């Protein structure tokens, strides 16, 4: 189980823990299998992550990265590392920003390669 | 050579005071005897401001289902304090309109500033802070001290920019080494000169050093984190080329999970283009 970003949550996944909104009100209890409608409601109530059975945060991210062109990924990663020279890499907030930065730059590089 | 940041501003007549409409607006808002229509009247006396505000209210910034045609309607829908904050943001942009971007492209400068404004407003909304528009203003103005440095100390600023780039230093560290103070201090003093709320002054003054913000710690933390988010997204720059370091304590004060960052970035992407067009268009 692991905390999965709402963007990576798919129907059929099973909750490992209750999902609560920002007022700690329970929206859906542990053990429930997710449907499209559930995910929509989570987004509506500002839920940004959920604990999913049998899926690890790192796996989802690794899967996402594996689907990308390795050459572009390497380039994007270098740009991010340079950008984050003074920002460190330990803090979970910074880690997430660096990951998002790399993904953003892969998207831009991919668009440039496709001549957009 | 010792430079006093206050002297820099004393000799800078063009920005020494805000347009009077803001003082009158503040007075009207704080006066319980004044009605919403009185406040609308103050805004309407400045036709340029009226046009700029209507453009913002009708942009993706709010995404209202139908067009807001008049300032009276805008005051009712958006709120007086919110509208006053937006008025301030556009007026400051206008004040620095004539500056030539010899050192940094002004377009890039305002892109970064607007994006930090959007990010700060989104973080504030996420935390359900009242009047999220004041965070937009704070974000827009956070680096305003750099404009003063670039205009008043052009040659020294050029050297500082080169020093930071050559030796891969943070720009504000290079500023401190060379001047003994940073753009954040200059910005804070400028807002003080303008007699703006002390919260804005503290946010701007300590956006790189949120530990020192004792009166408005959460407000300052919001802009501190917003600046870091926008640097990592690479949306414009006011001269800095690196993502500034995060103060973990400031992060804690926000009480958000890292997973919030992806949705904040998505929202910035959605609003950014329209916000630029709205704010950067000529009136």
- Do the beta carbons of residue A98 and residue B232 sit within 8 Å? yes
Looking at the predicted structure, is the pLDDT value of residue A31 above 70?
yes
- Considering the entire predicted model, what is its pTM? 0.90
Looking at the predicted structure, is the pLDDT value of residue A115 above 80?
no
CA dihedral B39, B40, B42, B46 (to 10 degrees): 150
φ, ψ of residue A46 to 5 degrees: the values are 75, 20
φ, ψ of residue B150 to 5 degrees: the values are -65, -35
Quick one: which of A111, A84, A114 has its CA closest to A99? A84
pLDDT of res. B282 = 61
B242:A84 CB<8 A: yes
Class of domain B5-16+98-280: mainly alpha
How high is the ipTM of this complex?
A: 0.90
B233:A101 CB<8 A: yes
Please report, in tens digits, the pLDDT of each residue of chain B (283 residues total).
Answer: 678 999 888 878 788 888 888 889 989 998 999 999 999 999 999 998 999 999 999 998 888 999 999 999 999 999 998 999 999 999 898 888 877 777 899 999 999 999 999 999 999 998 989 888 899 999 999 999 999 999 999 999 999 999 999 999 999 999 999 999 999 999 999 999 998 889 999 999 999 999 999 999 999 999 999 999 999 999 999 999 999 999 999 999 999 999 999 989 999 999 999 888 888 876 4
Q: What residue in B sits closest to A93 (Cα-Cα)?
A: B258
Looking at the predicted structure, is the pLDDT value of residue A1 above 70?
no
Which residues, numbered 55 to 84 in chain A, qualify as contacts with chain B under a Cβ-Cβ cut-off of 8 Å? 83-84
A103 CB near a chain B CB, below 8 Å? no
Q: Where are the domains of chain B?
A: 5-16+98-280
Residue among B128, B168, B261 whose CB faces A97 most closely? B261
pLDDT, tens digit (0-9, with 9 covering 90-100), for A36-58: 999 999 988 888 889 999 888 88
- Banded pLDDT at A116 (limits 50, 70, 90): low
């Amino acid at each position: 189980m692991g905390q999965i970003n709402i963007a990576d949550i798919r129907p059929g996944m099973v909750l490992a823990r209750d999902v609560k909104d920002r007022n700690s009100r329970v929206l859906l209890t542990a053990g429930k299998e997710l449907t499209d409608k559930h995910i929509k409601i989570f987004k509506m109530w500002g839920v940004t992550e959920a604990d999913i059975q049998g899926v690890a945060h790192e796996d989802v991210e690794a899967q996402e990265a594996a689907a990308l062109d390795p050459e572009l990924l390497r380039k994007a990663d270098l740009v991010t590392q340079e950008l984050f020279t003074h920002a460190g890499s330990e803090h979970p907030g910074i880690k997430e920003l660096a990951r998002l930065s790399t993904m953003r730059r892969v998207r831009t590089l991919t668009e440039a390669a496709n001549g957009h | 050579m010792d430079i006093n940041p206050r002297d820099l501003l004393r000799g800078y007549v063009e920005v020494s005071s805000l347009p009077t409409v803001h003082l009158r607006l503040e007075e009207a808002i704080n006066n319980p005897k004044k009605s919403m229509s009185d406040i609308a009247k103050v805004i309407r006396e400045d036709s340029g401001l009226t046009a700029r505000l209507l453009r913002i209210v009708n942009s993706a910034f709010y995404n209202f289902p139908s067009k807001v045609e008049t300032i009276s309607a805008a005051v009712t829908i958006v709120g007086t304090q919110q509208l006053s904050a937006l008025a301030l943001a556009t007026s400051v942009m206008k004040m620095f309109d004539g500056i030539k971007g010899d050192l940094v492209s002004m377009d890039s400068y305002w892109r970064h500033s607007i994006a930090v404004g959007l990010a700060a407003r989104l973080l504030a909304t996420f935390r359900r802070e009242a009047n999220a528009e004041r965070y937009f203003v704070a974000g827009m103005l956070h680096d305003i001290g750099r404009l003063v440095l670039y205009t008043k100390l052009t040659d020294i600023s050029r050297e500082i920019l080169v020093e930071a780039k050559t030796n891969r230093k943070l720009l504000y560290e290079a500023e401190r080494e060379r001047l003994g103070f940073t753009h954040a201090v200059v910005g804070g003093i400028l807002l003080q000169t303008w007699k703006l709320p002390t919260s804005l002054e503290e946010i701007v003054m300590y956006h790189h050093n949120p530990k020192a913000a004792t009166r408005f710690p959460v407000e300052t933390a919001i802009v501190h984190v917003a600046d870091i988010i926008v640097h990592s997204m690479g949306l414009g720059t006011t001269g800095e080329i690196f993502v500034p370091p995060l103060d973990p304590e400031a992060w804690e004060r926000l009480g958000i999970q890292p997973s919030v960052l992806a949705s904040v970035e998505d929202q910035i992407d959605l609003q950014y283009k329209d916000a630029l067009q709205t704010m950067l268009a000529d009136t």
